[in-house]
Amino acid sequence: MIIKKIALYSIIFLLTISSFAQGTFKILDNRKENKSMPFTLVNNLIVVKAEINGKELSFLLDSGVKRTMLFNLKFADSLVLKNVEKLKIRGLGEGNPINAVKSKGNLFDMNGIVNDDLNLFVITDNLFDLSAKMGVDIHGIIGGDLLKNFVVKINYAQKKITFYMPDTFDYSKCKNCESFPLDFYNSKPFINVEIEDHLGKEIDVKLLIDSGGGDALWLFPHSNPDIIVSDKYFDDFLGKGLNGNIFGKKSRIKKLKIGSFEFEDASVSYPDSTSMVKMHSNKDRNGTLGAEILKRFLVIFDYPNRKITLKKNKQLYKDPFLYNMSGMELIFGGEMLVKVKRARLVDPDKSMNTSITEIFYNYDWTYKPSYQVSLVRNGSPAHLAGIMEGDIVLEINGKPAYSLKMQELIHLLSIKENKKIKLLIDRNGEHLRYEFILKSLL
């Protein structure tokens, strides 16, 4: 189970400009009442393919944002944008507002879900690179713009999303489902749930529902005097927002209750106030409910009728809440040239009257993904072992790092306390070996 952490890459827009009107999303074939499509699940987060003005791009589906965004566009991804205007925007993190442009009247097509007058923001600064963290290309984020026009069923188990016209969805077919009212603030959905803290105190909290946040739960202590950080915590890197790194405390709560659904020992993060100071326009908000919880359900977002419906995902519902115990954060470090051993079989030579198959080996040079250490937590196993920011991980426990996906690497660093991790590191061209033991701090 991979809980880590694109921790809240749900970028909460705090725009310094007013909203602007745009077209409506609809199903292209008017004879159809719904449209289904597959998605890719990466570190709990939903990635979908869509075209902007004919150019195919990858989007994170994020209920925690209102507007559609593009970023990290390389030359090969270049596309024509219409009616652009420069501006600055602010989101999560410690830095200053960043440069962006606003573009009106674009054509969006996601496998037959279309909008011929889409307005979007394009981040032109290179400071925000979601692709590096997730290990796959991510060109943008889409959320409330799309979700508000449909009833949207997300099946995490089957990795399938279905869009329904609002008046056609039949809730009577959803057995063992529970529905909950949604409150909306700035077009973003909020739900009231109950938590039981480390002292056994039950607290009602209002949470932003954020399908683009990889963690289970974020709580803001200053939003409610009853929200108190447990004595058992550790300081951690929680993620990266538009304006820089987000730090805070990682801990656990006794229970999280959503109707009759209960989760024990759920992981919780408490972001530092310096990272969050600009985002609290909604004074009633106490935190965020993220994808580490949502993935445990079949989720039905119904923005038009202001409700969310949940049904247990039996494959994932009881999975433990894990976290990266190594203390080192990894990002995609680009491609590197590696030597790969290949085998070639030669069939028996019948003229020689032999039945022996010969195996010949040769080596090819090819480009493979590399993984770089982007941050090391002080006092963590990786830090104490000598791992440094900027190190390139070549091998992990004897396996080439390039043979593993990013989520597989993180899973290996999260799955079991006291597991020995052996690394081969490239540091400025020098190959070094390190090892450490994963240690639970909660």
For 186-245, what is each residue's pLDDT tens digit?
889 999 999 999 999 999 999 999 999 889 999 998 889 999 999 999 988 887 666 567
Which comes out higher in pLDDT, residue 358 or 112? 112
For residue 30, give both structure tokens: 């008017």
Count Cβ neighbours within 10 Å for each residue of 202-211 and write b for 16 or more, e otherwise: ebebbbbbbb
Separation between Cα atoms, residue 61 and residue 48, nearest integer Å: 7
Separation between Cα atoms, residue 15 and residue 403, nearest integer Å: 41
Residue found by looking up tokens 């890197």 in the block: 237
pTM of the predicted model as reported, rounded to 2 decimal places? 0.84
Bridging pattern class, strands 40-42 and 113-123: unpaired
pLDDT at 184 over 80: yes
Nearest to residue 310, comparing CAs of 181, 169, 144? 181
Q: Please report the pLDDT score of residue 277 as a whole number.
A: 52
Collect all residues with Cβ–Cβ distance below 8 Å to 74 and sequence separation of at least 6: none
Q: What is the pLDDT of residues 111-138, one digit of tens each?
A: 999 999 999 988 876 656 666 677 778 8
Separation between Cα atoms, residue 117 and residue 182, nearest integer Å: 27
Phi, psi torsion values for 175, nearest 5 degrees: -75, 145
Domain 171-312 has what CATH class? mainly beta
Bridging pattern class, strands 84-90 and 98-110: antiparallel
Collect all residues with Cβ–Cβ distance below 8 Å to 172 and sequence separation of at least 6: none
Q: Please report the pLDDT score of residue 415 as a whole number.
A: 86
H or E stretch covering 410: helix 406-412
Same fold, 14-149 and 171-312: yes
Residue 370's CB: how many other CB atoms inside 10 A?
19
Architecture of domain 14-149: Beta Barrel (2.40)
Residue found by looking up tokens 């909008």 in the block: 115
For residue 130, give both structure tokens: 């979601």
Nearest to residue 97, comparing CAs of 139, 70, 128? 128
Separation between Cα atoms, residue 243 and residue 96, nearest integer Å: 6
| 80-84, 243-247, 272-276: segment of lowest average pLDDT | 272-276
Separation between Cα atoms, residue 12 and residue 281, nearest integer Å: 11
Separation between Cα atoms, residue 194 and residue 360, nearest integer Å: 63
pLDDT at 319 over 50: yes
**DSSP H stretches of helix in 95-190:** 130-134, 144-147
Q: Helices (H) and strands (E) in the chain — how many of each?
A: 6, 30
pLDDT at 89 over 80: no
80 exposed, middle or buried (CB, 10 Å; 0-12, 13-18, 19+)? Answer: exposed
Per the CB < 8 A criterion, the answer to whether 163 and 112 are in contact is no
**What single letter denotes the amino acid at residue 154?**
I
Collect all residues with Cβ–Cβ distance below 8 Å to 239 and sequence separation of at least 6: 5, 6, 7, 8, 9, 92, 213, 214, 215, 245, 246
pLDDT at 91 over 60: no
Q: What is the pLDDT of residues 381-391, one digit of tens each?
A: 999 999 999 99
Superfamily for the 328-437 domain: PDZ domain (2.30.42.10)
Per the CB < 8 A criterion, the answer to whether 166 and 304 are in contact is yes
Phi, psi torsion values for 171, nearest 5 degrees: -70, -20
Separation between Cα atoms, residue 230 and residue 266, nearest integer Å: 13
3-state secondary structure of 372: strand
Q: Where are the domains of the chain?
A: 14-149, 171-312, 328-437
For residue 192, give both structure tokens: 């009231």
